[in-house]
């Protein structure tokens, strides 16, 4: 089989591949540090058993679902108490309950959200309305 | 397999037993799951309503008293934009002719002229705002409160066109800079640009067993909050002993805020 115009096509393909993979070359050796959400807030440090409403793994993957369920129950069904599987009762509120312990929004929420490209105050847009606790930066 | 009456009855019996066991299985399946419960202290009602005694407000209250308005707006982080076109209001005052159009006459106008009438969302029995909302962001709760789910509001403003009382305000701009930092209630959210807001009869306070902020703030007892379905409630007693009017009852919305004039 014979290739016509190979002199133009092959360099063209190489240049094209180079352009397409440019983002990889551009970021080579400049890895963004992995997120490291901190839970060393005063309230959490005082807790004898450091336990969130669900186990850590479930919270990590499913907190958005949990928050959405909380919103539905509180706003639409008027139920405001969450009874966890261990029987502990929580007041379902992002602003008043989650942030009571996790009072370090920039170190806790934003760490992962920024890493995942969910930029500060655009996605997820919790904080356009909900008021984040004051932090000493 | 040959089928006869006996085997048919046996199989039916087993099926019936199985169905009977379903609720038991359901209970067992949910026992290990987290539960959602209402607050024990919450005030519960079947049809929340308010009676506004304007006589008390004018006679006992100081001239230009705005305690109820300020209390509400402070508790709910309602911004003061300072521009009548973009004003955000949950509870405010209107002159008689605007609050009760068609009910004024030239002679009664004299004693109520220039007098402010306290107006707020009427939490209608048949709310037009709920009917027109395309996302069900505004909805009627079982206790009669017309509630807003800000998360679902897309800012189409159909509800504002639907509401005949002007009870709804649109956030034309981000309200955050218009709420004073020292007056910010950190227990309650703000709103964002592009959503509609209104009075919610303080659902968040009712859930904690508190009466609405405006009722609590009024020192002359001009505002009365209670359950219309409860014959012993304070609102029912006021309604039974006074002649009351509603705003635009002819529209068929069934407003649940009553006025003693």
Tell whether B190 lies on the interface with A, counting CB pairs under 8 A: yes
Cβ of A118: how many Cβ atoms within 10 Å? 15
Q: Evaluate whether B131 touches B159 at the Cβ level (below 8 Å).
A: no
Domain B48-260 in CATH 3.30.70.330? The answer is no
Q: Which of A12-16, A36-40, B170-174 has the lowest mean pLDDT?
A: A36-40
The nearest alpha carbon in chain A to B33 belongs to A85
Tell whether B36 lies on the interface with A, counting CB pairs under 8 A: yes
The nearest alpha carbon in chain A to B206 belongs to A78
Residues 6 or more apart whose CB falls under 8 angstroms from that of B15 comprise: none
H-only helix segments in chain B: 5-31, 54-60, 67-75, 96-99, 109-112, 128-132, 158-162, 203-206, 213-217, 234-241
Average pLDDT of the segment spanning B69-78: 95
Distance (Å, rounded) from C-alpha A88 to C-alpha A85? 8
The nearest alpha carbon in chain B to A130 belongs to B189
- Between B104 and B133, name the one with better pLDDT: B133
Q: Evaluate whether B124 touches B167 at the Cβ level (below 8 Å).
A: no
Contact B37 A79 (CB under 8 A): yes
The nearest alpha carbon in chain B to A134 belongs to B186
Q: Is A2 helix (H, G, I), strand (E, B) or coil?
A: coil
pLDDT band at A29 (very low <50, low <70, confident <90, very high): confident
Q: Is B92 helix (H, G, I), strand (E, B) or coil?
A: strand
Write down the pLDDT at residue A136.
Answer: 67
Residue for token digits 């701009």?
A: B173
Distance (Å, rounded) from C-alpha A68 to C-alpha A52? 17
Write down the pLDDT at residue B138.
Answer: 97
Tell whether A10 lies on the interface with B, counting CB pairs under 8 A: no
Average pLDDT of the segment spanning A127-132: 91
Q: Evaluate whether B131 touches B147 at the Cβ level (below 8 Å).
A: no
Percent of chain A predicted with pLDDT > 70: 96
pLDDT tens per residue, range B180-218:
988 899 999 999 999 999 999 999 999 999 999 999 999
- Whether pTM > 0.90 for this model: the answer is no
In DSSP terms, B92 is beta-bridged to B119
- For the stretch B209-243, what's the b/e string if a residue is b when 16 or more beta carbons lie within 10 angstroms of its beta carbon? eebbbbbbbbeeebbbbbbbeeeebebbebbeeee
Paired sense of beta strands B196-197 and B35-37, if any: unpaired
Q: Evaluate whether B99 touches B25 at the Cβ level (below 8 Å).
A: no
Tell whether B7 lies on the interface with A, counting CB pairs under 8 A: no
Q: Evaluate whether B72 touches B78 at the Cβ level (below 8 Å).
A: yes
Average pLDDT of the segment spanning A66-91: 92
Tell whether A130 lies on the interface with B, counting CB pairs under 8 A: yes
Domain residues of chain B, as ranges?
48-260
Q: Which helix (H) or strand (E) holds A70?
A: helix A56-71
Distance (Å, rounded) from C-alpha B222 to C-alpha B200? 19
pLDDT tens per residue, range A2-14:
889 999 999 999 9
Q: Is B93 helix (H, G, I), strand (E, B) or coil?
A: strand
Average pLDDT of the segment spanning B143-165: 96
Average pLDDT of the segment spanning B62-82: 93
Cβ of A62: how many Cβ atoms within 10 Å? 13
Distance (Å, rounded) from C-alpha A126 to C-alpha B162? 29
pLDDT band at A48 (very low <50, low <70, confident <90, very high): confident
pLDDT band at B88 (very low <50, low <70, confident <90, very high): very high
Average pLDDT of the segment spanning B250-257: 95
Contact A71 B189 (CB under 8 A): no
Chain B residue numbers touching A85 (CB-CB < 8 A) = 32-34
Tell whether B139 lies on the interface with A, counting CB pairs under 8 A: yes
In whole numbers, what is the pLDDT of chain B averaged over residues? Answer: 92
Write down the pLDDT at residue B24.
Answer: 80
Write down the pLDDT at residue B108.
Answer: 76
Contact A95 B187 (CB under 8 A): yes
Tell whether B130 lies on the interface with A, counting CB pairs under 8 A: no
Distance (Å, rounded) from C-alpha B41 to C-alpha B44? 9
Residue B1 pLDDT > 70: no
pLDDT band at B4 (very low <50, low <70, confident <90, very high): confident
- ω before B132 within 30° of 0 (cis)? no
**Distances in Å between the alpha carbon of A126 and those of A2, A68, B88, B173, B189?**
61, 11, 21, 17, 10
Distance (Å, rounded) from C-alpha B197 to C-alpha B92? 14
Residue for token digits 């299985």?
A: B25
Q: Evaluate whether B247 touches B98 at the Cβ level (below 8 Å).
A: no
């Amino acid at each position: 089989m014979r290739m016509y115009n190979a002199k133009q096509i092959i360099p063209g393909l190489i240049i094209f591949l180079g352009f397409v993979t440019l983002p990889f070359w551009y970021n080579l050796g400049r890895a963004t540090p992995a997120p490291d959400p901190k839970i060393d807030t005063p309230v959490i440090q005082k807790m004898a058993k450091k336990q969130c409403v669900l186990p850590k793994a479930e919270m990590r993957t499913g907190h958005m679902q949990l928050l959405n369920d909380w919103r539905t129950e509180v706003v639409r069904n008027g139920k405001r108490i969450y009874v966890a599987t261990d029987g502990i009762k929580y007041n379902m509120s992002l602003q008043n309950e989650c942030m009571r312990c996790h009072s370090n929004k920039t170190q806790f929420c934003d760490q992962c959200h920024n890493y995942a490209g969910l930029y500060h105050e655009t996605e997820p847009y919790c904080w356009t309305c909900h008021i984040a606790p004051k932090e000493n930066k | 397999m040959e089928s006869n009456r006996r085997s048919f009855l046996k199989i039916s019996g087993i099926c019936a037993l199985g169905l009977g066991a379903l609720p038991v299985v359901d209970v067992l399946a949910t026992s290990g799951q987290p539960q959602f419960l209402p607050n024990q202290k919450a005030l519960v009602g079947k049809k929340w309503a308010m009676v506004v005694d304007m006589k008390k407000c004018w006679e006992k209250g100081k001239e230009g008293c705005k305690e109820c308005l300020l209390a509400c707006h402070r508790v709910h982080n309602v911004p003061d934009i300072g521009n009548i076109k973009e004003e955000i209001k949950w509870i405010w005052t209107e002159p008689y002719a605007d609050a009760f159009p068609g009910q004024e006459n030239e002679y009664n106008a004299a004693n109520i002229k220039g007098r402010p009438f306290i107006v707020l969302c009427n939490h209608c029995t048949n709310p037009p705002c709920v009917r027109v909302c395309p996302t069900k962001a505004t909805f009627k709760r079982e206790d009669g409160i017309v509630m807003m789910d800000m998360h679902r509001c897309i800012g189409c403003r159909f509800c504002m066109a639907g509401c005949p009382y002007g009870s709804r305000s649109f956030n034309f701009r981000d309200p955050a800079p218009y709420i004073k930092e020292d007056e910010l209630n950190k227990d309650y959210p703000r709103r964002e640009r592009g959503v509609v807001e209104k009075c919610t009869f303080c659902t968040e306070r009712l859930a904690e067993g508190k009466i609405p902020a405006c009722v609590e703030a009024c020192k002359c007892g001009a505002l009365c909050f209670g359950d219309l379905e409860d014959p012993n409630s304070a609102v029912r007693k006021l309604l039974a002993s006074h002649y009351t009017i509603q705003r635009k009852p002819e529209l068929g919305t069934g407003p649940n805020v009553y006025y003693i004039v």
